[in-house]
Amino acid sequence: MSEEQRWSICPVEDCEFAQEFDPDAPAFCPDCGMELISQCPSCKGPVRLENQVNCNECGLPFKE
Ligand SMILES: [Zn+2]
Ligand SMILES: [Zn+2]
């Protein structure tokens, strides 16, 4: 089994930018300047997929 992977994703619906979560990496999308999401703003559940659109824990949409 692989390690639990985490991603940072851009919250903009039309933007597909994603990077593997790295606490030292820039926290903003290089394409649109939005702050990247690496955990659910509501329940703090981690982002597990580079193309994840909803929180696995509470279902909150990540894309707006
Ligand atoms: Zn973006
Ligand atoms: Zn959540």
- Which tens digits make up the pLDDT trace of 55-64? 999 999 999 8
What is the model's pLDDT at position 1?
A: 52
pLDDT digits (tens, 9 = 90+) for 3-47: 688 999 999 999 999 999 999 998 999 999 999 999 999 999 999
Confidence band for 48, pLDDT divided at 50, 70 and 90: very high
Structure tokens at 1: 């089994």
Structure tokens at 13: 């619906």
Please tell me the distance from the alpha carbon of residue 1 to that of residue 16, in angstroms, as a whole number: 27
- Stated pTM of the model: 0.88
Q: Residue 11's closest CA among 41, 34, 43, 39?
A: 34
**How many angstroms does the Cα of residue 31 sit away from the middle of ligand 2?**
25
**How many angstroms does the Cα of residue 8 sit away from the middle of ligand 2?**
15
Please tell me the distance from the alpha carbon of residue 7 to that of residue 19, in angstroms, as a whole number: 6
**How many angstroms does the Cα of residue 33 sit away from the middle of ligand 1?**
6
What is the model's pLDDT at position 47?
A: 96
**How many angstroms does the Cα of residue 1 sit away from the middle of ligand 1?**
30
What is the model's pLDDT at position 4?
A: 81
